[in-house]
């Protein structure tokens, strides 16, 4: 098992990509804090995981967190430290999206996008690094193909994901001396609830046609790249943004 004895905190792991990453990390022996915007969703996700894979009782911790609130983020990190005493892997995966033109976007739209996708990620990382500095570790940020190529009517989302890429590279430089590796995954189109809520069947078919692998990813198709970055196999990999998009962006 590749993550035996490791402790992972994964934001946004009650569903979608984060849930699939949590499932694979658990299978590889990690202890995982399952975090979502509501604690009951985290508890429900753990019940679902227990139906799907074999998990030790003490291997999971459900946490409700509001990434717009610094105190809530500090409490999340303290809960993990209280339970397991360290954090080896941080996956900053929680995020929101929006499809609005520049002129349709108001100040609140810009603020909310950055509060969750950028400031929430930065604050979580700061709180975790206070502990991770002592042990070293791996930080994996979820970016997006929109953070590589931009997206029409996605200007605030794109700005937030370009920021995530900048944070990834800057922190790789800053935290390297502590043996903390910082990388990002840039997914293409993934069939999560977030995506299903926004993409029509016609758009989905168009995206599939534009993708060299001629299919849309399921969340589990992303998880292997996170496992690589979390594991010792990536011990000389930092500051990279790995595209996992079926070849859509190149
Ligand atoms: P999702 O909507 O299925 O899940 C989002 C998760 O984030 C949930 O667990 C939710 O509780 C959590 N979350 C949202 N706002 C929060 C807040 N304020 N505080 C705490 N938790 C909060 O999303 P997904 O599709 O799995 O996306 C996960 C990540 O992948 C996001 O960062 C997204 O931008 C990125 N991404 C997704 C796709 C895609 O096609 N689905 C493509 C590229 C990038």
Cα of 115 vs centre of ligand 1, distance in Å, is 14
Residue 211 inside a domain? The answer is no
**Atom 39 of ligand 1: nearest residue by CA position:** 190
Contact between 55 and 30 (Cβ < 8 Å): no
Q: 119 CB contacts (<8 Å, ≥6 apart)? A: 68
pLDDT of residue 51 exceeding 90, the answer is: yes
Q: Is position 238 within any domain?
A: yes
Q: Choose between 182 and 193: higher pLDDT.
A: 182
Whether 197 has a pLDDT exceeding 80, the answer reads no
Give the catalytic positions in this structure: 157
Mean pLDDT of 225-236: 98
| Ligand 1 pocket, residue 95 CB under 6 Å | yes
The interaxial angle of helices 16-27 and 39-52, nearest 10 deg, is: 50
Q: Is residue 107 part of a domain?
A: yes
Residue 194 has pLDDT above 80, yes or no: no
Q: pLDDT over 90 for what percent of the chain?
A: 94
Average pLDDT of the chain? 97
Q: Which domain holds residue 134?
A: 7-191+219-244
Mean pLDDT to the nearest integer, 125-154: 98
Determine the pLDDT at residue 200.
86
Phi–psi pair at 127, nearest 5 degrees: -65, -40
CA of 14 to the centre of ligand 1 (A): 9
**Is 197 part of any domain?**
no
Give the confidence band of 140 by pLDDT, cuts at 50, 70, 90: very high
Residues 206-226 have a mean pLDDT of 96
Instruction: Answer whether residue 214 is part of any domain.
Output: no
What confidence category does residue 161 fall into, taking pLDDT thresholds of 50, 70 and 90?
very high
**pLDDT tens sequence across 87-105:** 999 999 999 999 999 999 9
Q: What is the mean pLDDT of residues 149-178?
A: 98
* Protein residue with its CA nearest to atom 8 in ligand 1: 12
94 lines ligand 1 (CB under 6 A): yes
Quick one: pLDDT at residue 132?
98
Residue 210 within any structural domain of the chain:
no
- The predicted model gives 239-250 an average pLDDT of 97
Q: Is 212 part of any domain?
A: no
Domain count, the chain: 1
Q: Cβ(21) to ligand 1 under 6 A?
A: no
12 Cα to the center of ligand 1, angstroms: 6
The token pair that represents 147 in the structure block? 């953070």
Tens of pLDDT, residue by residue over 16-38, are 999 999 999 999 999 999 999 99
CB of 190 within 6 A of ligand 1: the answer is yes
Residue 67 Cα: closest atom of ligand 1: 19
Residue 162: give its domain's CATH number: 3.40.50.720
- 199 pLDDT band, cuts 50/70/90, is confident
Residue 11: inside a domain = yes
**DSSP states along the chain:** -TTTT-EEEETT-SSHHHHHHHHHHHHTT-EEEEEESSHHHHHHHHHHHHHHS---GGGEEEEE--TT-HHHHHHHHHHHHHHHS--SEEEE-------B-TTT--HHHHHHHHIIIIIIHHHHHHHHHHHHHHH-EEEEEE--THHHH--TTBHHHHHHHHHHHHHHHHHHHHHGGGTEEEEEEEE--B-SHHHHTT--HHHHHHHHHHSTT-SPBPTHHHHHHHHHHHSGGGTT--S-EEEESTT---
193 pLDDT higher than 90: no
């Amino acid at each position: 098992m590749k993550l035996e004895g490791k402790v992972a905190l994964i934001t946004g792991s009650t569903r979608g990509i984060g849930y699939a990453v949590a499932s694979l990390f658990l299978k590889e022996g990690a202890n995982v804090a399952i975090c979502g915007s509501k604690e009951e969703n985290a508890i429900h996700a753990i019940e679902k995981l227990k139906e799907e894979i074999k998990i030790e009782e003490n291997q999971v911790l459900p946490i409700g967190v509001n990434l717009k609130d610094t105190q809530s983020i500090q409490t999340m990190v303290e809960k993990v430290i209280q339970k397991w005493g360290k954090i080896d892997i941080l996956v900053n995966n929680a995020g929101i999206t929006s499809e609005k033109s520049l002129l349709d976007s108001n100040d609140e739209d810009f603020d909310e996008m950055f509060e969750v996708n950028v400031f929430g990620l930065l604050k979580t990382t700061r709180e975790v690094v206070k502990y991770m500095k002592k042990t070293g570790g791996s930080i994996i940020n979820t970016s997006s193909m929109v953070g590589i190529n931009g997206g029409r009517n996605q200007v605030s989302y794109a700005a937030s994901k370009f920021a995530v890429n900048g944070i990834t590279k800057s922190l790789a430089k800053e935290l390297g001396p502590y043996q903390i590796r910082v990388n990002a995954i840039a997914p293409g189109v993934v069939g999560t609830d977030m995506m299903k809520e926004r993409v029509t069947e016609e758009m989905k078919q168009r995206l599939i046609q534009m993708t060299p692998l001629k299919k849309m990813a399921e969340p589990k198709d992303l998880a292997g790249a996170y496992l690589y970055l979390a594991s010792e196999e990536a011990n000389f990999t930092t500051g990279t943004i790995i595209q996992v998009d079926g070849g859509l962006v190149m």
